[in-house]
A and B are shown apart, each in its own frame.
Chain A
Amino acid sequence: MDLNLTEDQETICEVFAAFFDGETGPARARSAEPLGFDATAWERLLETGAPGMGVAEAVGGGGASLADLAVVATEAGSRIAPLPLVDHIVTTRLLARLADPSACNDDVLAGSAIVGLALRPATRGIARTVPNGAVAHRVVALDGDRLVIDQHTDNLLDAHLANHGCLPLAHRDLADAETLAEGPAAVAAHARAVDEWRTLTAATLVGMAREALVLGVNYVKEREQFGRPVGSFQAVQHLLADLPGLIDGAHLLTAKAAWAGDRATAGIAGTLDVDANDVTDFPVLAAMSLVAAGEAAVLATDRSLHVHGGYGFSEEYDIQLYYRRARALTWLLDDPARECRRLAGMFLAADDNRLAASAHHDSPQANPETGRS
């Protein structure tokens, strides 16, 4: 049990905090609207090696663990960096894990060619609302049981879908896409990548929630009404006092998910026993972390905006930038309620299987929708 960052992670944290402070931040996020991509900052990011850092050294990457990457994502999230870093990193890791990792070429590792992931399976040959679809040169998607990668198109920016969080969303047509893998292996590779996206997006949301709380606290310390700082009123204090535990809890859960993901990569099986509150299973923790971090970020931005009074929703103040991005990132993949139902299917099925095994019956094949065989 050790809740400190490793020495390497301390360094990563410092380096990227300085980078995102210098090259990104609310002002840059505002000027990057509505697309949500700062090309200059991305150019500078290439110099840090961040785009390829999540890929194993043997395949030419930086060899960073999921836990390391979560540290970077939190720093990016706290500055709402308009950079498609999480999507790019998750996709490079997916490509590098394939039997043929050649799509993860030098341009992709360097970040001069941006790649992205369609989170939801394609419908009628279209990958819809790809998170960085308006800026990614190539997008990986699941089409039926085929994992495919689409071709670069020239009119990317025209495809941008104006949206709540000013994210670079776009639909992508997979008509000319080439197949990377097929069958259960393809489905599993996509599922693993989406779990990594859940974890790193949760880490991003933790950063957003933290900074939103700081914005709210700083504002109520300065703003005076009735002759005193509004932060001296208990009604205001208690709105904010719920947040540190919620945010720290989401942070711990996200860090645990990343730790479990790295253990899964190393071939260590996780446990899933909710009756004893013993959970080290990566897919379950990844889903839980996104639900928890989304809840923390949605509530933190809501309360922080509220204590700003009318200034909270004016474009001049930064909290509205956080408010919209927190919701967009939390709800982009799916309704958290549906994520929870999927989670329940996972742990109830695991328990059914364990009970069946202990009763010396054959393990039933559980239906993931109902958890019943």
Chain B
Amino acid sequence: MTDHELVVIGGGPAGLAAALSAWEQGVRDILILERDNQAGGILNQCIHNGFGLHCFQEELTGPEYAGRFIDLVKQTGIQIRTDTMVLELSEDRVLHTLSPQYGYESIRAGAVVLAMGCRERTRGAISIPGARCSGIFTAGAAQRFLNIEGYMVGKRVVILGSGDIGLIMARRMTLEGAKVLACVELMPYSGGLARNIVQCLNDFDIPLYLSHTVTDIRGKDRLEQVVVSQVDEKRSPIPGTERVFDCDTLLLSVGLLPENELSRQAGIAIDPRTNGPVVWENRESSLPGVFACGNVLHVHDLVDYVSAESETAGKAAAAYLRGERPAAGELKIVNGNEVSYTVPQHIHRGVDSVEIFFRVRNVRKDAAIRVLDGQTQIARFRREHLAPGEMESIRLPKVLLDRVQGDALTVEIEAVEGGVPRSEASPLADIPTPTGKGGQT
């Protein structure tokens, strides 16, 4: 058994930023464990641009963003061990690892940062009926095949789900010569960033079918056809609305799940709303000395936010290693009306200002976010635009937190009379959303 002060599980943007931040705080024995053959995580395959506007004030591609952090890490004494799989994390912070170079090893850590990221939901997770032919990929798997391995996965493509990876792949496949026939989204709004709808679908006249889903998959060896149907308000397919697409490839961009097998094994409390650990404002989990950041904690839209969050976790891990413990006293953060979760889930009494991250359930225009102490509103934040696909945040200053009477704060979206207005005037409504049935083959 070897000992390390800080062990970071995962060498993607979260792990790199957490390790750097701990180093800056004076921790000198840091080991990053990465299962891929290089650091950088999913950024290595995200060759498109748009990363780093918050963090570096310029527009970088994924590999460039990762490269900046890897270069910074190389200037420190932080060790990165690639090709290393963590099999188990125990409650007393012993990690069991496997790698071609060192074989089986156990490592005792003074503190641990969980930065394992997330993985894609698959066909099995959403139970699409039909043939079990080849040609069905998660969008991220196709992205890896294309951008890292150099293989085109198909020529005529339908994309299910309008999450960012699906949208990015619609553009990427089109630029590489494939015909992307449609992007199909179950919900009445897109799960991706608005900018990606514009530059990945509209730029190439790829139709987005909102409130539609794939209801059948046909093909003997390779995919030959998918059937797409409109869905009702309960998301059930409407008979008679079927349209058939002749295609050889179906890409699934149907959501991401934080990858918390290790956390669960270690007995760390998981929030069923985020599928990530329950954390304090310093990103410490229910297991003392174990911190979590990035997509393993909750799925982020922007890597810049991952880096910022990971800095918090790295700093807190360093403080833990110095023997500092936050003051006792808990203030819960509860999700109220139209808010699906909050991170952190609870904060320590007496801390400095806290940024609360959350997602909303509905698309709203000219909305307000309210923070309630019991029934009393203590803060209100106006937002021109809210969407479930775009993570929101509010900052609560110390003066406000110190005045809180109850033991929980509720974050909610201000109710409007007559229910929830959908933003009809949004430019998203300009995207053709065919409603009638008809062949699109």
Whether chain B is bound by chain A comes out as: no
B interface residues (Cβ-Cβ under 8 A, vs A): none
